[in-house]
Amino acid sequence: MRDTFPVRPLGKNIGGYRGETIEIQKTLQEIERASAAANWTLDRVPGPVEILACRRTVPDPRHRVYISTGIHGDEPAGPLAALQLLCENQWPNDAALWLCPCLNPSGFPLNRRENSAGIDLNRDYRHLQSAEVRTHVQWLEHQPDFDLTLCLHEDWESAGFYLYELNPNHGPSLANPMDRPQWPEALYLASQGKTPMSYTFEAPSDFPLPVRVAALAAAVRAALRLLRAAPAGGE
Ligand SMILES: [Zn+2]
């Protein structure tokens, strides 16, 4: 698919995200349908706030990949990118995947970063104050370790796409997670030894929504391609 998009920032996201919003429950229903059509398993993780998780199982997976998004309610491109990737259903044959398409269902109707109680869920993975993160962490504890974690985000202050890398086996960046009072999801996963490598992708939300969805989906595809090209195994 070759679409052409304007590549200039819109200049309208001043002091916060002012762009397109989505009806998250509708998007989640589409994700459920796409996930079923692709023969993924759907987990409705029960809790005060139900969390949706989709799983793709393959026999003897070579890689286990975890993808998460929708943790900030003013970042609609992530759940839409998850939907697009599920609809495309083009995954490496030998990769098992876990996908949480929306960790903050109460934030989206308010178009705000935090949940409806005002908690930034992506700073709550150390103290687990929110029902969403407690439910999510419980679910994560029952999943195997992942080879790769991809967290899909957006940033209204950014003029371009960027990423954060956590690579605790090779870098010093996690030397002292205990020094950080608030933990994002990616730091929690890395600090628990749940994933040796994680990337947080940030699409610039001062661009039109289709551009950001395309950018996040392309980043996931690229990461899966590179993972496939990497040497097998690991320790
Ligand atoms: Zn975010």
> pLDDT per residue over 122-175, tens digit each?
999 999 999 999 999 999 999 999 999 999 999 988 888 888 888 777 654 545
Q: Where are the alpha helices (DSSP H) in the chain?
A: 24-37, 77-88, 131-141, 185-191, 209-229
pLDDT at residue 234, as a whole number: 45
Q: Separation of 113 CA from ligand 1 center, angstroms?
A: 7
pLDDT at residue 2, as a whole number: 54
Q: Separation of 16 CA from ligand 1 center, angstroms?
A: 12
pLDDT at residue 228, as a whole number: 83
Name the least confident of 4-13, 48-57, 62-71, 110-119: 4-13
Name the least confident of 6-10, 22-26, 116-120, 211-215: 6-10
Q: Separation of 154 CA from ligand 1 center, angstroms?
A: 5
Output the CA torsion sign for 191, 145, 165, 32.
negative
Average pLDDT along the chain: 90
pLDDT at residue 62, as a whole number: 94
Q: Separation of 88 CA from ligand 1 center, angstroms?
A: 24
Q: Separation of 231 CA from ligand 1 center, angstroms?
A: 31
pLDDT at 65 > cutoff 60 = yes
Q: Point out which residues pair with 100 in neighbouring strands.
A: 68
Question: What confidence category does residue 231 fall into, taking pLDDT thresholds of 50, 70 and 90?
Answer: low
**Chain mean position to CA 99:** 8
Mean per-residue pLDDT, 106-125 = 97
pLDDT at residue 235, as a whole number: 39
Q: Separation of 178 CA from ligand 1 center, angstroms?
A: 22
pLDDT at residue 3, as a whole number: 56
Q: Separation of 134 CA from ligand 1 center, angstroms?
A: 18
- Token reading at 178: 């205990």
pLDDT at residue 8, as a whole number: 75
Terminal CA-to-CA distance of the chain, rounded, Å?
A: 38
pLDDT at 186 > cutoff 50 = yes
Q: Separation of 153 CA from ligand 1 center, angstroms?
A: 4
Mean per-residue pLDDT, 115-120 = 97
Q: Separation of 72 CA from ligand 1 center, angstroms?
A: 5
Ion ligand 1: residues, Cβ under 5 Å = 72, 75, 153
Percent of the chain, pLDDT > 70? 91
pLDDT at residue 174, as a whole number: 47
Residues 13-42 pLDDT 10s? 788 898 899 999 999 999 999 999 999 999
Measured torsion, CA atoms of residues 161, 175, 132, 54, in degrees rounded to the nearest 10: 60
Q: Separation of 59 CA from ligand 1 center, angstroms?
A: 33
- Token reading at 192: 């628990």
Q: Separation of 114 CA from ligand 1 center, angstroms?
A: 10
Say which residue, 19 or 76, is predicted with more confidence. Answer: 76
pLDDT at 57 > cutoff 90 = yes
